[in-house]
Amino acid sequence: MKKLAVVAFGGNALLQAGQKGTIDEQERNAYESGERLVSLLERGYNLVITHGNGPQVGNILLANQAGNKMFGLPEMPLDICVAYSQGFIGYILEQQLRNVLQLHDLDRDIITIITQILVNKDDPAFSNPTKPIGPYYTKNEAEIIMKESSSKFAEDPKGRGWRKVVASPKPLVISNKKSIERIARDGQIVIAVGGGGIPAFYIEPNKLQGIDAVIDKDLASALLASQINADKLFILTDVPKVCLNFNTPQERTLDRVTISEARKYLEEGHFAEGSMAPKIRAAIHFVEHSGKDAIITKSTLLGVDDGGTRIVMV
């Protein structure tokens, strides 16, 4: 039986910092991201791909607001915007990955599954928004927007500006996980849990409803990976390895980390919220619930021996 890997791309796999977000840019980025997956296919992995949507869902919200202000179009809630992003990002990834597979003479179906995830409407995250979405602003721009609306902003830990932050509740139950696993183990490539999944809750017994939030993509990916019995979780970011004392003279890269060491580093504040901290928590969750390894690395090192930081049980 082939091994099964869940590969979690960040939102910057399609839309990178400094880009406008044109379709040409996103298609080119998606193609390059798809190229990184070939090494895993050649190593005998079946694949489930998950992806972020921070830049894209923020832009969808901005377009909604502009349409409402200029033309009176009804604004869509955040869960609907997440669903929008799942559809168009899945389409772009699917199309460009198919182009990559054809170039390498690989024949796989690629299926995008719109994925809802159950959350608790009383999750404390709703009173403490932390998930960054959308474009970067200057501090002055962010302050003006906050005065004119109910939006909340936070400074980017890497100093790139200020971004809107929204609630990010804990994912509890992933819809269609059995189908996701079955299709992937059959040898096809599945794109699922886009943007962390569409957050929903039971407004009453047997009646689901969306809720205004964005689920952390890495934590949702870790939950999915553990529930479909994946052999490996790859969490892709914009640095080759996890670091202690990041961006300081005392910076030290980590090659192999146990989950107890990872928890210790988290408590010591080595990993920034909205950046590396959620990825570490996601890796811990997967390793703890599966007994398998998680790898945090840059997409260019995907499938490279000793590439990235490996999080292990002991």
Residue of 29, 34, 90, 131 marked catalytic: 131
**Domain-by-domain residue ranges, the chain?**
3-312
Residues 6+ away with beta carbon under 8 Å from 289: 226
158 assigned to active site:
no
Contact call for residues 87 and 258 (beta carbons, < 8 A):
no
Residue with tokens 């949702």, as numbered in its chain: 220
Residue of 164, 232, 279, 292 marked catalytic: 279
C-alpha dihedral sign at 285, 288, 290, 294: positive
87 assigned to active site:
no
With cut-offs at 50, 70 and 90, classify the pLDDT of residue 154.
very high
With cut-offs at 50, 70 and 90, classify the pLDDT of residue 150.
confident
Residue 46 has pLDDT above 90, yes or no: yes
Report phi then psi at 163, rounded to 5: -130, 150
Residues 6+ away with beta carbon under 8 Å from 292: 230, 231, 232, 233, 286
Of 176, 237, 272, nearest to 7 by C-alpha is 237
207 assigned to active site:
no
Residue 274 has pLDDT above 80, yes or no: no
Of 185, 41, 26, 5, nearest to 96 by C-alpha is 26
217 assigned to active site:
yes
Residues 6+ away with beta carbon under 8 Å from 94: 110, 111, 112, 191
Residue 58 has pLDDT above 90, yes or no: no
Task: Show the tokens assigned to 291.
Answer: 């007994």
With cut-offs at 50, 70 and 90, classify the pLDDT of residue 304.
confident
With cut-offs at 50, 70 and 90, classify the pLDDT of residue 192.
very high
Residue 285 has pLDDT above 80, yes or no: yes
Give mean pLDDT, residues 43-58: 92
Question: What is the pLDDT, as a whole number, of residue 14?
Answer: 77
Residue 134 has pLDDT above 90, yes or no: no
Q: Residue 161 has what DSSP assignment?
A: -
Residue 305 has pLDDT above 80, yes or no: no
Residue of 12, 29, 53, 59 marked catalytic: 12
Give mean pLDDT, residues 66-76: 93
Burial class (CB in 10 A: 0-12, 13-18, 19+), 255: exposed
Instruction: Please state the pTM of the whole predicted model.
Output: 0.91
Rounded distance, CA 10 to CA 13, Å?
5
Residue 1 has pLDDT above 80, yes or no: no
Contact call for residues 4 and 270 (beta carbons, < 8 A):
no
Q: Which of 96-105, 146-155, 177-186, 286-295 has the lowest mean pLDDT?
A: 146-155
The architecture of the domain spanning 3-312 is 3-Layer(aba) Sandwich (3.40)
As a whole number, the mean pLDDT across the chain is 92
CB atoms under 10 Å from CB of 123, counted, come to: 18
Residue of 10, 11, 274, 308 marked catalytic: 11
264 assigned to active site:
no
Residue 205 has pLDDT above 80, yes or no: yes
Query: What is the H or E stretch that residue 85 is in?
Result: helix 78-103
Contact call for residues 57 and 214 (beta carbons, < 8 A):
yes
Q: What percent of the chain clears pLDDT 70, i.e. is strictly above it?
A: 99
Residue of 217, 232, 241, 292 marked catalytic: 217
